[in-house]
Structure 1
Amino acid sequence: MGFLKIDKVTKSFGSLTVLHQTDIEVEEGEFLVLVGPSGCGKSTLLNMIAGLEPVSSGDIVINGRSMNGVRPADRNIAMVFQSYALYPNMNVGENISFGLEMHGVPKEEREKAIDSVADLLQIKHLLKRKPGQLSGGQRQRVAMGRALVRDPDVFLFDEPLSNLDAKLRVDMRTEIKKLHQKLGTTIVYVTHDQIEALTLSTRIAVMFGGHVQQLGTPKEIYDNPANMFVAGFMGSPSMNLFPAKVAVKDGKAIAKFPLADGSDAELPFPEGAMTDHDGRDIILGIRPEAITDKLGADRSSNAVHTIKARVEVTEPAGSDTYVVAEMGGKEVTARFRADVEVKPGDTFSFAVNMDKAVAFDPETEQRLK
């Protein structure tokens, strides 16, 4: 059994079901990220783990103990909120130690805990300041310190970085990752930012419409999306999805689709793949980095094939250049090296790594095996 077990949990408000049956097990020391767009049910699930919302059915078990009917204060969890939730009239040290004081921890132990956490988070010089004198990043460190000082079974993070500017978000993301690696704590983290999900987690639950669409490691989620929602949501730029048709020739399956000049492109699938789907319409999914220039293609792959297509748009992005072309009647984004000379209107040879291609059923939107 996992250290945190979400067992057949649902949540309804009257006749509206906002979280359908959900089963997730989190091992001790794991970093689980719940990711999805607004309204997908991720914050509702986090609030049920915290005890801020009752479950409609099912059970949540933490460290072998059912949480049904257990008050938030008795769950031995610590939560870090998006809004920091610091007491403005208390200084940093008092904010960090407030929970310990409420639980009757002796002053000497409190001071030792404050000192240890302040040292870990590098905020010792801030202990006498009030929250109003701190930057957003400093406030978030204090909020994390208040959670860390309690040594809980599970840490819950509710979009903790969304109020920070882009650079500070990246910096704090690194700090949280380092903290997890150092302490080995069990964390459940909610975000709508798929880059945060991919970089921080040991496992990701991608949520949409109150359902867990896929649960897996960052690599599994990125390389083998279970459906078109996961494929399109995870990754930046997102996976290219465009119509194609499977044809089997001499025992080998190929994907056929039209190009902007009226010709048809033919891209062979890897050996043995998709041979049971002759004549089937599919949605072909290929990530931008798997469509590139010849010299930028993966030399370890035996499934790189070239097609000529007209360049519609180029988007220099510093270390890369994103190139947009039309394939299968859709705009497709390719990721080129920064020094490749290419401009709109050019007909260019695109190298496509079909080892990285996935196929989806156009009707069910589920991945085809």
Structure 2
Amino acid sequence: RAVAELAAHDPDGAYALAGANGWERRLERALRARRRRTRLTHPLVVEELAARGSFGVTELEVFADCSSIWLFDRIVSPRTIDAEVDARQRGSVAHSALSRFFGGLPKRVGTERIDAERLDETLAFLRECLEEAVAGVRLELTALERAELTGGLWLDLEASIRAEAELDSPLVPRRFEVSFGSDRSPQELQRGLDLGGFTITGKIDRIDVDPFSARGIVQDYKSGKTAHSAAQIDSELRLQIPLYLLVLRDLVGIEPLGGVYRALSGKREARGLLRAEAREDGVPGFSQNDYLDEEAFWGQVELAQGRARGLVERIRLGDVRHDPKSGECPDWCELFSMCRVARA
């Protein structure tokens, strides 16, 4: 391994050292490992991929980020021996707590929206929902680990609810964890979003609706600090919000006014894709740059459909590459040892 690493910046020295010790063949094998072909070619694998008829929207986003990440994270799917609370687990608990909270808010507090004048009572209920969600974690956690998980999430969720209480939105949260494209989805949503030749599956975290008309928005919680703006949805190849808007319109039967990512930490921004024509009476209070005219709004939705079709075509062909979106492997990716990408 040391000689192979040396070859990355001093190939002559590496080959000289290998030759002096009789390691030439070993060095060649080590170097070939990093030059391996990435495309999937086994007939049975390619046949199975080509036959797929449904694809998760988050799966396609992962493939767009890097198809090698998709292969190892979604197909090979390695797991650590000792399970631990990672970002994905934290996000799952946060989603569960918020679903319980908004679903039970009308019965417990007597209001569908977060009422700033009843915030103490509302936050007490939020705390109960969080503790129930943490209790549902299947990992064997020590008392300290459970306390750290609860405490960290409480800081984020409390601040998020306080921030939402300051908004003056005419919409009310009505549906939560809305899955589509699976047997466990509501019957009218089980077929998934048909994009011609395949269907999209997924789960919408939250749908807010106008209590006086069939209009609404979709919201997607992000446990991190990032909430993508309208421009970033395009540049970062995000598919969730644009495709969820089609689900809202074509499957749920609600006219979409827009969709936002709601970050649960950091600045806790809500950014996304919104129709400018509904700015005053439907979706006020969001970032000015996220309001788009009708042509630009539906243009982004159409663009997302085209990108989804292109990604599905590549998956069905087994077209896996070393192709991180930014051109370089992200620092947070821990899969480089499996996809064998050399790192500095």
TM-score normalised over the length of structure 1: 0.24
Identify which of structures 1 and 2 has the higher relative contact order when contacts are C-alpha pairs closer than 8 Å and 6+ apart. 2
Greater helix share, structure number? 2
